[in-house]
């Protein structure tokens, strides 16, 4: 894991306020999108990308989650005008899309703990669309991203401990210590 030179958190835990960290999180789905385009269309820059995005979101259960999330980024919500699926909680089309996205496929990356890819997917999704989710939960999910990207997975007990700390109003520093283990090395 590396420190972000902009926000000094473990990359990309600063996703909510730091443009550099947010870019790294976006890149998680963007790299999946480029790989999909290259394998299906032979180029990462096809002329009708938006049409392809529409096709993907019509069948989210046939594609990996990164591809589906990136496809939604390319579509505009008719109601809130933002990227489809990422508008405020309560926006009908975005709420629907945010539910559909979870029917997409998830495949554990080689060498990661089983369930890591699922945790990464949920945390990336929440970090990119925090509306409607409690502030402590959003913070914990963002702070956990560096560990998940490194291929590790907090145990259930660790996750519960961090969650209860967060709901009791622990500071970010306390949460970081809990997420990474008290000695500062990643748990």
Least distance from Zn ion to the Cβ atom of residue 1, Å: 12
Among positions 53, 67, 68, 91, the unique one binding Zn ion when judged by CB under 5 A: 91
Least distance from Zn ion to the Cβ atom of residue 88, Å: 7
149 part of the interface to Zn ion, by CB under 5 A: no
What is the torsion angle, in degrees rounded to the nearest 10, for the CA atoms of residue 20, residue 24, residue 29 and residue 31?
110
Residues 49 to 78: which contact Zn ion by CB under 5 A? 77
Q: What is the DSSP string of 86-126?
A: -S-TT-HHHHHHHHHGGGSB--PPTTSPTTHHHHHHHHHHH
154 part of the interface to Zn ion, by CB under 5 A: no
For residues 39 and 41, what is the distance between their CA atoms, to the nearest angstrom? 6
Contact 112, 149 (CB under 8 A): no
Least distance from Zn ion to the Cβ atom of residue 2, Å: 10
Binding mask 20-39 for Zn ion (x = CB under 5 A): xx------------------
CA 92 to mean position of chain CA atoms: 21
Among positions 32, 87, 136, 154, the unique one binding Zn ion when judged by CB under 5 A: 87
């Amino acid at each position: 894991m590396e420190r972000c030179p902009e926000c000094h958190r473990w990359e990309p835990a600063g996703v909510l306020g730091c443009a550099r960290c947010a870019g790294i999180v976006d890149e998680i789905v963007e790299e999946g999108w480029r790989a999909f385009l290259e394998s299906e269309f032979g180029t990462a820059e096809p002329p009708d990308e938006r049409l392809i995005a529409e096709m993907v979101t019509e069948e989210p259960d046939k594609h990996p989650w990164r591809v589906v999330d990136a496809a939604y980024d390319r579509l505009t919500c008719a109601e809130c005008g933002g990227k489809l699926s990422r508008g405020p909680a309560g926006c009908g089309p975005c709420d629907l899309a945010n539910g559909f996205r979870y029917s997409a496929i998830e495949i554990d990356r080689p060498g990661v703990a089983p369930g890591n890819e699922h945790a990464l997917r949920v945390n990336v999704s929440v970090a990119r669309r925090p509306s409607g989710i409690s502030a402590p939960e959003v913070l914990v999910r963002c702070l956990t991203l560096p560990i998940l990207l490194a291929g590790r997975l907090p145990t259930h007990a660790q996750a519960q401990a961090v969650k209860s700390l967060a709901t009791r109003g622990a500071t970010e520093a306390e949460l970081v210590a809990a997420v990474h283990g008290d000695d500062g090395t990643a748990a």
